[in-house]
Chain A
């Protein structure tokens, strides 16, 4: 557990003060040697070695990718699932800034920060997967616009969205640096950023699904349909909210000392409201899946083992958590909310991996299974994200907006 130090008091020379302040903030807070830190450093160090091997010897040296399976878990999990998990940011900004449900205000900053970091690190992990990453600027700087390409659009929306998310959390940075004027200006920009951010999210959450539209003959018919983009978008809402619940229940323990009284009191209220929304949206998602299933007349596949796997996903990880969410709201079971959120998250992982990896090229004789090194590097990406998140939350007014600042 980290110990909170007081912010230095500003007196005298402003410039020198800022420098001193930054210096003190850069120092780690609390004990350095904790089980978590040791584990994180081992995993990150090992990943650094593996990544250098990957760049000097090619992707085959660390991954199990093949000509039949060009995308593995670095895309299917890190990028495609990671971005769905980060969907909480646009859902919450929608509720707080557009619908003005001020109940959710205490968690909006932490969610947007989480979303921003998820984009930076999980989408950033894409660079590891690119065969020729030095050309990654090509779709961006405009010398090579591939405008009919879904991936081109997704890349652009990713980038712009990261910018809007950064704008959305920038008031927190300005508060941290005690720049009153900047806070004022940046907060003025927030609504615009939010509106643009929600629009971009709608497009790239569904766009990630649209990436697979041309793989029509490769993805098992139980998972392929022309409606993948819609399904991706709707499920990103529950994925995002479930992540907020899951992550919130952890951070409320870890960062207890950073929380304002108000945040603590409203936590349960927020929790059950989120659970209620989840239950409803998941039912919508389930009905959509059902409609697609009927529309495509997929009965014939149900008797195969793919059918069993499909039913597991749809009933075990969509309908069941939807039902549990509803129950938890009814009987005020906090643990049940958390269990349902966890089930939902597993369901999203299964769904995204089904489309991108598991049911992709399902007829192939030799199916892709990730190497331990791919998994190791994925873990490292997650750990780096957590470390950075912890660093920021311990310093910036994220969980407790008015802590440590003068206003």
Chain B
């Protein structure tokens, strides 16, 4: 290989590395003005209006509202129920907790998605775009809250999850669940204001709440924030999650990609040149020199 082809190798490496380097610049922006919902489990009465309006809006089968009395504890969302009310018993007390996508500030699902079908919008909702998704389900592997659900029983399956009523937000409306909650357990606002509000509630009624806002730091912060009267692990919320954004876990690897792409080719070429002299004298037959072209 002469100098020109050497340059070619380097050039190709640089080209391949370019998109990666620009990715670094982009993924660092954290918009704090995301919108979200503050979910106050001490106010929720378990009427499940939210799951009903959600099903209606998304043209999904109506949830079996009565079923809740029989099931205690964790119930996940499903492809046909994007938000689910869980019921927990704590002594004689009943506690209800609404479950749905957390709309992470830096979502693992969106970082994972190879097609950018999962997308964190600037308004806050994490949306899914059918025309891009190739159904690899890597978002499901990556989401720390196990939220994206896949329609295994369909020939043309979709990933289903709450998208924070993205279409309604565009029209200037609020998410259907928050708008229709009769108990004011759901408050829709900018995340910053939600955090202030949550702190105020805790400081005004310190005995009513555990002093923790779930979602403030979990998984690097989420747009959905929770308040509760008992520790969150008793409500089947993941409390051992890292307090860093999940895309951070892949950063080291992603950073080393362009470096290897730049360094490996010249290194290998140098190695190839270095071994040349030693072997030259021992080569007797032209056909036995696959490397000498």
In the complex, what's the smallest C-beta–C-beta distance from B195 to chain A, in angstroms? 24
CB distance A214 to B137 under 8 Å? no
Q: A130-B136, A132-B134, A203-B261 are in contact. Are A147 and B247 (CB under 8 A)?
A: no
In the complex, what's the smallest C-beta–C-beta distance from B288 to chain A, in angstroms? 6
Closest chain B residue to A156, Cβ basis: B16
In the complex, what's the smallest C-beta–C-beta distance from A48 to chain B, in angstroms? 17
| 7 A-B pairs with least C-beta separation | A131-B135, A147-B23, A60-B152, A70-B137, A132-B135, A152-B114, A214-B142
**Roughly how many angstroms separate A206 CA and B256 CA in the complex, as a whole number?**
11
Q: Does B65 contact A (CB under 8 A)?
A: no
Contact of A70 among B133, B141, B254, B264 (CB under 8 A): B141
Q: Does A67 contact B (CB under 8 A)?
A: yes
In the complex, what's the smallest C-beta–C-beta distance from A263 to chain B, in angstroms? 12
CB distance A100 to B134 under 8 Å? no
Using C-beta atoms within 8 Å of the partner chain, give the interface range for chain A. 35 or more
Q: Does A315 contact B (CB under 8 A)?
A: no
Chain B interface residues toward A at CB < 8 A: 1, 5, 8-9, 12-13, 16, 19-20, 22-23, 26-27, 76, 78-79, 108, 111-117, 131-138, 140-142, 144, 146, 149-157, 159, 238, 240-242, 246-247, 249-250, 252-254, 257, 260-261, 264-265, 268-269, 271-272, 275-276, 278-279, 283, 287-291, 293
CB distance B268 to A195 under 8 Å? yes
CB distance B117 to A70 under 8 Å? no
B residues in contact with A98, CB < 8 Å: 268, 271-272, 275
In the complex, what's the smallest C-beta–C-beta distance from B10 to chain A, in angstroms? 10
CB distance A148 to B157 under 8 Å? no
* Contacts A/B (CB < 8 Å), 25 sampled: A58-B154, A60-B152, A65-B152, A68-B146, A70-B150, A99-B275, A100-B279, A131-B137, A135-B132, A146-B114, A147-B19, A151-B136, A152-B115, A153-B20, A160-B16, A187-B293, A192-B5, A194-B268, A195-B268, A199-B13, A199-B260, A207-B257, A213-B253, A214-B111, A215-B142
**Roughly how many angstroms separate A213 CA and B84 CA in the complex, as a whole number?**
28
CB distance A191 to B117 under 8 Å? no
Closest chain A residue to B159, Cβ basis: A131
CB distance B12 to A135 under 8 Å? no
Q: Does A236 contact B (CB under 8 A)?
A: no
CB distance B115 to A188 under 8 Å? no
Closest chain B residue to A134, Cβ basis: B134
Q: A68-B146, A145-B19 are in contact. Are A214 and B115 (CB under 8 A)?
A: no
CB distance B1 to A192 under 8 Å? yes
Q: A192-B1, A211-B138, A214-B108 are in contact. Are A148 and B133 (CB under 8 A)?
A: no
CB distance A214 to B252 under 8 Å? no
**Roughly how many angstroms separate A223 CA and B254 CA in the complex, as a whole number?**
21
A residues in contact with B133, CB < 8 Å: 131-132, 135
Q: A59-94: which residues lie under 8 A (CB-CB) from chain B? A: 59-61, 63, 65-68, 70-71, 94
B residues in contact with A130, CB < 8 Å: 134-136
A residues in contact with B8, CB < 8 Å: 192
CB distance A199 to B264 under 8 Å? yes
CB distance B134 to A210 under 8 Å? no
CB distance A196 to B12 under 8 Å? yes
Contact of A97 among B20, B241, B290 (CB under 8 A): B290
CB distance B76 to A146 under 8 Å? no
Other A-B pairs beyond A148-B26, A207-B257, A217-B242, 13, CB < 8 Å: A55-B155, A67-B140, A129-B136, A131-B159, A132-B156, A144-B116, A148-B27, A151-B136, A153-B254, A191-B291, A199-B260, A203-B261, A214-B246
Q: A135-B134, A199-B260, A210-B253 are in contact. Are A102 and B141 (CB under 8 A)?
A: no
In the complex, what's the smallest C-beta–C-beta distance from A180 to chain B, in angstroms? 14
CB distance A100 to B275 under 8 Å? yes
In the complex, what's the smallest C-beta–C-beta distance from B187 to chain A, in angstroms? 28
Q: A60-B153, A150-B254, A191-B291 are in contact. Are A214 and B261 (CB under 8 A)?
A: no
In the complex, what's the smallest C-beta–C-beta distance from A58 to chain B, in angstroms? 5
**Roughly how many angstroms separate A207 CA and B253 CA in the complex, as a whole number?**
8
B residues in contact with A406, CB < 8 Å: none
**Roughly how many angstroms separate A218 CA and B238 CA in the complex, as a whole number?**
12
Q: Does A108 contact B (CB under 8 A)?
A: yes
In the complex, what's the smallest C-beta–C-beta distance from A183 to chain B, in angstroms? 11
A residues in contact with B252, CB < 8 Å: 226
A residues in contact with B134, CB < 8 Å: 130-133, 135-136, 138-139
Closest chain A residue to B242, Cβ basis: A216
In the complex, what's the smallest C-beta–C-beta distance from A381 to chain B, in angstroms? 18
Closest chain A residue to B19, Cβ basis: A147
Closest chain A residue to B137, Cβ basis: A70
**Roughly how many angstroms separate A207 CA and B20 CA in the complex, as a whole number?**
14
Closest chain A residue to B22, Cβ basis: A147
